[in-house]
């Protein structure tokens, strides 16, 4: 039979132990809501055919908006067991032959763990990641040490817990609702199902308490991307001259689309380049009259918002203005400060350089000003963005 493996991401808890006003599954980790990380990991995994998200009743719309590529968002129940059962029922309705039930408070399920859980279902009714306990375990009472518990054969259990559909469906159907279950795997075991252990991962550590958010952030890997931008505008008498967001008194100004701030346009393209979001002309077409005379700072802010939407953070910007006149030196600090302000950076993370072209070419003849820029951003390392 054709396998159809559906991931059920359970984010139905109130998350009160994590502190804060917002349930923990919606709080940001590495630039996006925690639940979005696990959803993305399953959605991009080749062994997973669909993703179902289980959230507190009434929260479906808010969660779906934050979660990313989810096939179905459903309401959970009053307990973890009921939420899990709702997820299993929804997975069955979507034609699942196997389900992976995962806790959204474990935001970074590694691809190899997902693959190992799915593969183990070929020879067991269930499978789950687990880590052998490395620390000595001891009893304690009233702050005093008691007996040591042998750790041989002890494991920390994690999720995703995977099951053949019939095994988990029957386990929920036959469970005595007066009893609370520790997890889905124990329910399947109770019916005699075999649950295989696969190698777990420290990436699966759970976010429960406020300090766990910092620990989760520390597990995120980042990549740095640098991209460039280039722009030219013509110098004309009777125009205002705007360079790097600063109005400069000069005999000529730049003409063209918007305020023709060649420096901010080059920076905008550099920022757009870091998230492969096209160029400034695609976002703000010169043919669109609403951008005539527009202040170019808003273009740069828009590019910044796209970087942030990808979970990114600008770390550095570098701008070179190429012209014979005006002299940039007297305006250097003002331009650096304005660009830094637009990018929410300290001025020490904005570099401004100026050069001439030795009276050669269009810049040398004073016909126009050119600008080139580079921007560096830090993005969480992931394959789907």
Q: Which is nearer to Mg ion, 286 or 361 (CB)?
A: 286
Q: Which of 58, 15, 5 is nearest to 35 (CA)?
A: 15
Q: Which is nearer to Mg ion, 46 or 289 (CB)?
A: 289
Q: Which is nearer to Mg ion, 24 or 265 (CB)?
A: 265
Q: Which is nearer to Mg ion, 10 or 267 (CB)?
A: 267
Residues in the chain, total: 385
Which residue's entry shows tokens 């951003």?
Answer: 377
By beta carbon distance, the residue nearest Mg ion is 265
Which residue's entry shows tokens 């020879």?
Answer: 123
- The residue range among 169-177, 228-236, 348-356, 357-365 that interacts with Mg ion, by the rule CB under 5 A, is 228-236
Residue 170: both structure tokens together: 């029957």
What mask of x and - would describe binding to Mg ion in positions 230 to 269, judged by CB under 5 A? -x---------------------------------x----
- The residue range among 39-47, 77-85, 200-208, 223-231 that interacts with Mg ion, by the rule CB under 5 A, is 223-231
103 near Mg ion, judged by CB under 5 A: no
Separation CA 166–CA 115 (nearest Å): 20
What mask of x and - would describe binding to Mg ion in positions 265 to 284, judged by CB under 5 A? x-------------------
Separation CA 111–CA 314 (nearest Å): 28
Separation CA 259–CA 295 (nearest Å): 6
Q: Which is nearer to Mg ion, 17 or 292 (CB)?
A: 292
Q: Which of 18, 16, 14, 4 is nearest to 206 (CA)?
A: 18
Pairing of strands 313-322, 350-355: parallel
- The residue range among 137-145, 224-232, 309-317, 365-373 that interacts with Mg ion, by the rule CB under 5 A, is 224-232
Q: Please report the DSSP string for 144-184 in residue order.
A: EEEEEEP-TT-EEE-S-EEEEHHHHHHHHHHS-TTS--S-H
Task: Write out the residues near Mg ion by the rule CB under 5 A.
Answer: 231, 265
């Amino acid at each position: 039979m054709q396998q159809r493996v559906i991931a059920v991401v359970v984010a139905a808890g109130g998350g009160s132990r994590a502190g804060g006003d917002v349930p923990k599954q919606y709080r940001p980790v590495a630039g996006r809501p925690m639940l979005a990380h696990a959803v993305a990991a399953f959605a991009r995994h080749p062994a997973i055919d669909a993703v179902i998200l289980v959230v507190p009743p009434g929260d479906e719309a808010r969660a779906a908006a934050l979660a990313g590529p989810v096939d179905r968002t459903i309401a959970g129940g009053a307990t973890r067991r009921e939420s899990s059962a709702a997820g299993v029922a929804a997975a069955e309705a979507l034609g699942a032959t196997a389900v992976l039930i995962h806790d959204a408070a474990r935001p970074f399920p590694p691809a190899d763990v997902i693959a190992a859980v799915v593969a183990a279902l070929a020879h067991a009714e269930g499978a789950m990641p687990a880590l052998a306990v490395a620390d000595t375990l001891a009893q304690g009472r009233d702050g005093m040490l008691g007996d040591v518990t042998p750790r041989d054969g002890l494991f920390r259990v994690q999720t995703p817990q995977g099951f053949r559909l019939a095994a988990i469906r029957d386990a929920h159907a036959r469970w005595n609702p007066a009893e609370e279950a520790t997890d889905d795997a124990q329910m399947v075991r109770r019916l005699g199902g075999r649950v295989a252990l696969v190698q777990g991962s420290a990436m699966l550590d759970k976010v429960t308490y406020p300090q766990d958010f910092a620990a989760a952030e520390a597990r995120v890997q980042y990549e740095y991307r640098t991209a460039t931008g280039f722009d030219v505008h013509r110098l004309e008498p009777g125009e205002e001259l705007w360079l790097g967001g600063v109005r400069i008194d000069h005999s000529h100004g730049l003409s063209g689309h918007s305020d023709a701030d060649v420096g901010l346009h080059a920076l905008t393209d550099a920022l757009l380049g870091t998230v492969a979001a096209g160029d400034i002309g695609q976002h703000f077409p010169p043919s669109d009259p609403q951008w005539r005379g527009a202040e170019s700072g808003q273009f740069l802010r828009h590019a910044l918002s796209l970087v942030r939407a990808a979970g990114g953070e600008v770390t550095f910007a570098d701008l070179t203005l190429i012209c014979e006149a005006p002299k940039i030196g007297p305006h250097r600090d003002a331009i650096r400060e304005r660009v830094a302000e637009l990018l929410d950076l300290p001025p020490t993370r904005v570099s401004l350089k100026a050069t001439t072209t030795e009276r050669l070419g269009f810049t040398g003849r004073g016909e126009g000003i050119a600008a080139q820029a580079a921007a560096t951003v830090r993005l969480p390392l992931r394959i789907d963005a």
